[in-house]
Chains A and B, each alone.
Chain A
Amino acid sequence: QIHLVQSGAVLKRPGASVNVSCKASGFTFTAYFIHWIRQAPGQGPEWMGRIRPNDGATIYAQKFKGRVTMTRDTSTSTAYMEVSGLTSDDTAVYYCARSGVHNWFDPWGQGTLVTVSS
């Protein structure tokens, strides 16, 4: 079975950074893209960017450029996303999701709640 398993919920102070992991299983990690998508409370999903695990190539939404870094470890089939300079507006559930060459998302990880509060 195809699974994406994410790291657990975190509480961060404003200005801090957060790192979320996404471990893939059940498929060839390097044959797909891994995307990061966030969903603020009561809002629709928002695409943040993607990484191609095969070579580490990334694309970021303009809104997140300079503040988000996506990496991967092919030896453990794990993708990572770091968000720096956190503000309360970054409070959201962060998801990783898989896509092929066409960028629909299936499946999704279980989500990681990131709460930013002083």
Chain B
Amino acid sequence: EVVLTQSPGTLSLSPGERVTLSCRASQSINSRYLAWYQQKPGQVPRLLIYGAASRATGIPDRFSGSGSGAEFTLTINRLEPEDFAVYYCQQYSNSPWTFGQGTKVEIK
């Protein structure tokens, strides 16, 4: 099973700042089969990024994904108030598909 480790666990930031979230896999992920999701309290996870770098429909361009192999990054430029949430990475290279434990982005 591929274990995804996200860091840091929590980030305290102000609106307008740039944030970089990390997702490290326990083994190399084929073909950049990595997705990112956003989850706000009491809400359903929302797909942000698939294929490591492709934005899902309707996702603002301040969200970007990068990486390959076992190291992936989600970057949010100019944090908006609605971006404060928990972010999860997910790999779909090897079954069982697995998620990271999440990074919480909170208002400073």
A-B contact pairs, 28 of them (CB 8 A): A35-B97, A43-B101, A44-B99, A44-B100, A44-B101, A44-B102, A45-B88, A45-B90, A45-B99, A46-B99, A47-B96, A47-B97, A59-B95, A63-B96, A95-B44, A102-B50, A102-B92, A103-B33, A103-B97, A104-B50, A104-B90, A104-B92, A105-B35, A105-B45, A107-B44, A108-B45, A110-B44, A111-B44
- Partner of B45 from the list A35, A45, A62 (CB cut-off 8 Å) is A45
Please indicate the chain A residues that have their CB under 8 angstroms from the CB of B46 in the complex: 108
Please indicate the chain A residues that have their CB under 8 angstroms from the CB of B45 in the complex: 45, 95, 105, 108
Please indicate the chain B residues that have their CB under 8 angstroms from the CB of A46 in the complex: 99
Chain B residue at smallest Cβ distance from A106? B47
B13 proximal to A (CB < 8 A): no
Is chain B's binding surface mostly helix, strand, loop or mixed?
Answer: loop
Residues of B within 8 A of A (CB): 33, 35, 37, 44-47, 50-51, 56, 88, 90, 92, 95-102
Q: A95-B44, A105-B37, A107-B44 are in contact. List 18 more A-B contacts (CB 8 A).
A: A44-B88, A44-B102, A45-B45, A45-B88, A47-B96, A61-B95, A63-B96, A102-B50, A103-B97, A104-B90, A105-B45, A105-B90, A106-B47, A106-B50, A108-B44, A108-B45, A110-B44, A111-B44
Once bound together, how far apart are the Cα atoms of A8 and B88, in whole Å?
25
Chain B residue at smallest Cβ distance from A61? B96
Smallest CB–CB gap between B22 and chain A, Å? 15
Smallest CB–CB gap between A40 and chain B, Å? 12
